[in-house]
Structure 1
């Protein structure tokens, strides 16, 4: 039990003493039938059954398939509790999140029914409570049965997968995705509590923060709920300013507005410090006595989205405090299928990985969830921008009841909840649904039925415009800005590029000149240690049963093979396949990012699909389901660096492009050399770089550099003084290059928390990468994909829980490079 900061309110968390069982009379395994197990709240059925030893780990091998019955079963959670000893005028049962089709009974009386995972509910239970032994039950109906019944009632609608996920307001990716397992959950997944209060409470506090010149303005919109109709006072203070207004009897809302002169601003990463200020709102009775209090840290910053048409189409430029920000983003999916396993510490580690890869924006994708308070608070704290999708993805969604009412309530709650967070800079109506209606053969099967257009172009912009006009709203990802223009036209607004992965080689990225790339990606397998933990295949092979089960993309292995064949030698075994497919993923994304950034000014941002995974799987992620960084992560760190040097094809030749996303000018001498694989110089030039802050400069290279004598034996290297930021250009694909057999010397010396590996090249070494997790699952290395010319050296720092064998650490399959094939 907790007292709300001396206001006399009571908040009693109801998280103890819960049990869960399958409702009798259903077809469930005998070890579950009639069995009651302890339940963790917040939590879900899967994690409770797993903790009780009644099911295997759903993430291992093909266990998810054998557990499909869980999503088709009704479950009941039960607990008992005592009434709080105090006697507030009102006692509410507050359910922050129930997943999903739930009926709540208290002492045998039904108090509510819910059908939406993405919103909370509050029920007045004052008259139902007794002093002791209050029995609370939450019965969850099968999400499948509900969704299938709605589908049958309203008529089927197309989607990307053979599951009814658009017919229930639930985390869509629970029903499986091309990177995720089909594990349809049920449970009390967020806080459940008793809230006792008297006279009145703060029902809604919604601060709207803007900046105009030197002035920061705050409008605090307050709604109160009453049990006594008498005058109230509400007060707000922030950054040394105080405001007080009265709420007369009979009224339930107020607005407190004030101005802060020259506040410290909230800036995104790379542009300044993310300053925050605590806003406190208090509610008082007519005699001044405290009734309720609300606290949140806010940030003073302005957000503007520029989509003014120009000679190239229409841009998509995000301005923060009137400064344009080039977005170096990643898409974010739920970090675990079971959300309560995602702790603040786990989020902080994932954010560390994003920041270390030079990311400045996270797009919360529309097939998952509205993320936790910890997520947005960490983003606020670190200056990471957040783009938030409303939760619609890859499907035609019905707009009939009860869905329209549920969507309106969900959007209202979530827009209000997230309004205080300065990191949130953009609301997006959906993921790929407008594009799907245009291009995915939906219109004939829909036969005029609703598909979600009314949400994206009417309901959601009205909600955002009314409740959160300080932030821009964009109807979809992708979206061109107009129904008159194809939604995925690269010249207008945002675009998704998926033909590269699905049908074309990754060099096709260079044929695009997009304004803003909101999704693009390329697959690769997870770390070896992740595979060995999750799969019992012996031996591992690209098509072994576990590997095949943990490849959810349509024709995914075929697409991986096609990508390898275009660029790299044929793998001899699984170790080669694993190394080369991870390498090819990193190469594909590096090529795309560097091409898009080289057109800075016309292109204003990229959002990689995707940062993270929710389980062990072959996917597009840079960080795998066990939290291990794939080679893609290291490539992204370089390609997203504040200062990027890259060689790009231009006008039939080659150019050196210097991209500067730092706040200071970049002035340096860049040396560009054409040389043989043996290190013999063939041509050389020096270019002077003078790149203003937040801009790019393109310098054409002379023909003697751009045209090799022997493409299979020559390369370009551009160096501006930082060996970790060199730019390379190879005139032939690796499969066609006359690579010498890899020759090098390696030394290993201990450090306080691992070992230092120094590699000195006797021949050129292409993309040297260490895989220490093959020796110790906890081991990680600080660098990867390092190319060395003959005579050059590189040092890799390996952290591990125990010393690793030096010979194993410096030989195949732990130490790899392209020419060890």
Structure 2
């Protein structure tokens, strides 16, 4: 068998050259591997926490420094291979799963590798460089900032939204800063490193693809690396079925097909179960086991229906032939130092996503290809994944050395993740097709390459060869070729669509003019076929904010707040987006709540509108699920892992069964949303009510909503026309589910100060809080992190009519602490932003 020995111990890191402070220049710091230099310096007490106050600026020098990592290890050739293997053909490989980023690797003073790609793996034959006894392994990292600047000059400056040329280096784009992200410009051995010893042959690549889910047929492509030329046998076992093939002489690749009897289909969450099958590939020669590889697969089919219709070009996901309305969120690295994200943290985040009724996570193209644990957990939880290739918001050179690096990283990562049942789309880039058309690139590029070769030629060819059952799209947003197209859109002949890449009528769309220029009710101006990005900002939870920022006084514009607000004119847009709906509060805690609530209102409005237009609109992926540090951003879950009110907005709007009242031409409609496998029938009750609860108008209508369908009911004029818009609302109810429409904006309404009774009861998982409203209370939310930072309420944004009660489970607090919940800074509502 191939033997593997991790090389994670005994590392130190020190300054190679660059503008480091004097007290660090002469110090060898203990280094964690996997890790990055920031975390080593932090652990040694040599730098402050980069996430606090304005430490980001104080630590900018780290990205300008060359760093040297070094360790020693012992080697004994006789012990390196398992007993029974042929040592005469022994190979010893140094394997790095990830180096961040531009590095020279030296073993015993001999250069064995030079790297320039964070997203690749590296395997180097070091048999001739190893010595018996002690060996010295060194990795010298170049400053990523200086390297990127140099390469941008060599390759030619190209368009991007931020100053540092992240497009000129194959490194996580957001590590150079984003409009929600801290600048880190990390260096380090950020993934595992090991010494692998083997003889005769090893498994170089294993790529299972389910080619017939109903029949249980899986085809496994296998590549073998050899240290000899004798025959070898590969065998595949999955679900109790086996098959094998022999590779003779110099053969290095084969395909093995296995049929699993009675294979159960894998389904996304909400559509069925997620059965997974362990698949094992074994490599043998002359009865001796040489190597093994293990994967988990699920039997499912996936396609995106883009057959043109009367309204344009849809983009409808089908899993196992069943249309799936996509309820999604965009994903960024969960920590600005991704090495800190382990399996447990992935699981916490993805379970939060599922608890918010999401069924798809889009891994955005400015971050990283996530670790195996991310995709494994998505398979287990039934969360669909959409993975961008790592190109974001910039023009990218197609010349060397980037061209070869892009191909190598794509092959590495498609091979690694292409078998996952959850993976339903690989996408060429984020917003680059759109940028080429609308952001002034053509003039400034003046004929330079910008990435079209990658998106239209290289990447689809790699996906087709290595993961042929995984769909591919050239970009997001992207318009598939509509029927009857007679010319290409744009001036580059490689752009293969006659439609604008961000067309409302075709394919996927990103909607950002709302946040940047308009008020959020204008989401209803759009009926896209599929919306892959849209968002609204809000601050993190209060406990996260006050942990990270020590300003005194703390105000929306105090220095630390501005450091932790990365969006261009972010606070101006927050204010402009609030004032049409609520008055701007004067005190900081109320400002914080107002901006959080307005964020939730904006996304609720968008999601309910988009969902009400299904199946014309086939899905919505909000920006963004998570944060990578404490920051004001578009996230639903902040950098300390705490849910913001937006989390409850997602959960409510994406509920399997929901009701929404929507304005349409000719009046209001109540839309019954049924994303379950069962029909939903009953008496729909529509009432117009006064804020005191009195019923002014009442209407009943029988509805019968098919599984996975919507039903639209016209609201009668008697209900739709308010007598006093400031003090009346529409209510639609079916069973215990309801939708609301307030005729007036909160700031112009007759909302009074909330009068709520609070009762706390011990529960095995925390404390149950029963709220009873004695007047209309709009969007009551418990900000329990103010009591205990990791406390979480299982519901939020609850509107109660007079006399109604609701019970909310709060985890992470005691009954004694629950006495604080009735405080107006913890029990929050929209009323507090309106009533004097």
TM superposition score normalised by structure 1: 0.97
* Pairs within 5 Å for 1:360-439: 360-439=359-438
* 1:599 aligns to 2:613 (yes or no): yes
2: CA distance between counterparts of 1:779 and 1:238? 43
2: CA distance between counterparts of 1:326 and 1:805? 41
Corresponding residue to 1:764 among 776, 779, 790: 776
Q: CA deviation at 1:545?
A: 0.9
2: CA distance between counterparts of 1:191 and 1:816? 46
* Pairs within 5 Å for 1:572-583: 572-583=586-597
CA contact (8 A) 1:104 1:138 kept: yes
Q: CA deviation at 1:753?
A: 5.0
Q: CA deviation at 1:445?
A: 1.2
Q: CA deviation at 1:804?
A: 4.8
CA contact (8 A) 1:399 1:450 kept: yes
Structure 2 residue matching 1:313: 3-state secondary structure: coil
* Pairs within 5 Å for 1:445-524: 445-482=444-481, 483-524=497-538
Q: CA deviation at 1:570?
A: 2.7
2: CA distance between counterparts of 1:387 and 1:735? 40
Q: CA deviation at 1:229?
A: 0.5
CA contact (8 A) 1:775 1:804 kept: no
2: CA distance between counterparts of 1:569 and 1:680? 28
Structure 1 residue matching 2:75: 3-state secondary structure: coil
- Using the TM superposition, name which of 375-384 and 236-245 deviates more: 236-245
CA RMSD of aligned residues (A): 1.2
Q: CA deviation at 1:572?
A: 2.8
CA contact (8 A) 1:753 1:801 kept: no
CA contact (8 A) 1:233 1:288 kept: no
Q: CA deviation at 1:382?
A: 1.1
CA contact (8 A) 1:525 1:619 kept: yes
CA contact (8 A) 1:767 1:817 kept: yes
2: CA distance between counterparts of 1:797 and 1:245? 57
CA contact (8 A) 2:304 2:318 kept: yes
What are the superposed Cα offsets for residues 194-216 of structure 1, whole Å, 9 maximum, x if unpaired?
A: 0000100011111111226x312
Structure 2 residue matching 1:126: 3-state secondary structure: coil
2: CA distance between counterparts of 1:749 and 1:58? 41
Q: CA deviation at 1:144?
A: 1.1
Q: Which residue of 1 aligns with 2:228?
A: 228
2: CA distance between counterparts of 1:326 and 1:806? 39
Q: Which residue of 1 aligns with 2:69?
A: 77
Structure 1 residue matching 2:216: 3-state secondary structure: strand
What are the superposed Cα offsets for residues 355-411 of structure 1, whole Å, 9 maximum, x if unpaired?
A: 000000000000000010000000111111000000000111111100010001110
Q: Which residue of 2 aligns with 1:254?
A: 254
1: CA distance between counterparts of 2:764 and 2:317? 44
What are the superposed Cα offsets for residues 135-185 of structure 1, whole Å, 9 maximum, x if unpaired?
A: 000000011111111111121111011111000000000000000001110
- Using the TM superposition, name which of 84-93 and 463-472 deviates more: 84-93
2: CA distance between counterparts of 1:20 and 1:506? 49
Q: CA separation of 1:661/1:22 partners in 2, compared to 1, >3 Å: closer, same or farther?
A: same
Q: CA deviation at 1:543?
A: 0.7
Corresponding residue to 1:629 among 611, 630, 643: 643
1: CA distance between counterparts of 2:700 and 2:211? 47
Q: Which residue of 2 aligns with 1:787?
A: 799
Q: Which residue of 2 aligns with 1:59?
A: 51
Q: Which residue of 2 aligns with 1:95?
A: 96
Q: CA deviation at 1:750?
A: 3.8
- Using the TM superposition, name which of 219-228 and 747-756 deviates more: 747-756
1: CA distance between counterparts of 2:418 and 2:96? 21
2: CA distance between counterparts of 1:574 and 1:781? 23
2: CA distance between counterparts of 1:275 and 1:526? 37
CA contact (8 A) 2:206 2:220 kept: yes
User: What is the count of residue pairs matched by the alignment?
Assistant: 809
- Using the TM superposition, name which of 745-754 and 69-78 deviates more: 745-754
Give unpaired runs (5+ residues) of structure 2. 82-86, 482-496
* 1:33 aligns to 2:56 (yes or no): no
Q: CA deviation at 1:736?
A: 0.5
- Using the TM superposition, name which of 771-780 and 491-500 deviates more: 771-780
1: CA distance between counterparts of 2:799 and 2:685? 17
Q: CA deviation at 1:318?
A: 1.1
Q: Which residue of 2 aligns with 1:666?
A: 680
* 1:680 aligns to 2:672 (yes or no): no
* 1:590 aligns to 2:604 (yes or no): yes
* Pairs within 5 Å for 1:247-396: 247-285=247-285, 287-396=286-395
Q: Which residue of 2 aligns with 1:4?
A: none
2: CA distance between counterparts of 1:527 and 1:556? 17
Q: CA deviation at 1:799?
A: 2.3
Q: Which residue of 2 aligns with 1:544?
A: 558
Q: CA deviation at 1:262?
A: 3.4
CA contact (8 A) 2:264 2:299 kept: yes
CA contact (8 A) 2:419 2:467 kept: no
What are the superposed Cα offsets for residues 114-133 of structure 1, whole Å, 9 maximum, x if unpaired?
A: 00000011111111111221
2: CA distance between counterparts of 1:436 and 1:20? 40
CA contact (8 A) 2:418 2:470 kept: no
Q: Which residue of 2 aligns with 1:153?
A: 154
1: CA distance between counterparts of 2:260 and 2:819? 63
Q: CA separation of 1:650/1:94 partners in 2, compared to 1, >3 Å: closer, same or farther?
A: same
2: CA distance between counterparts of 1:801 and 1:650? 45
2: CA distance between counterparts of 1:176 and 1:721? 48
Q: Which residue of 2 aligns with 1:86?
A: 80
* 1:704 aligns to 2:705 (yes or no): no
What are the superposed Cα offsets for residues 442-481 of structure 1, whole Å, 9 maximum, x if unpaired?
A: 1111111011111101111111111111111000000011
* 1:47 aligns to 2:45 (yes or no): no
What are the superposed Cα offsets for residues 716-754 of structure 1, whole Å, 9 maximum, x if unpaired?
A: 1112122xx421100010010012232222233444454
2: CA distance between counterparts of 1:753 and 1:312? 50
Q: CA deviation at 1:807?
A: 5.1
CA contact (8 A) 1:569 1:734 kept: no
- Using the TM superposition, name which of 804-813 and 758-767 deviates more: 804-813
* Pairs within 5 Å for 1:183-222: 183-211=184-212, 214-222=214-222
- Using the TM superposition, name which of 646-655 and 95-104 deviates more: 646-655
What are the superposed Cα offsets for residues 568-598 of structure 1, whole Å, 9 maximum, x if unpaired?
A: 1231311111111100100110110010010
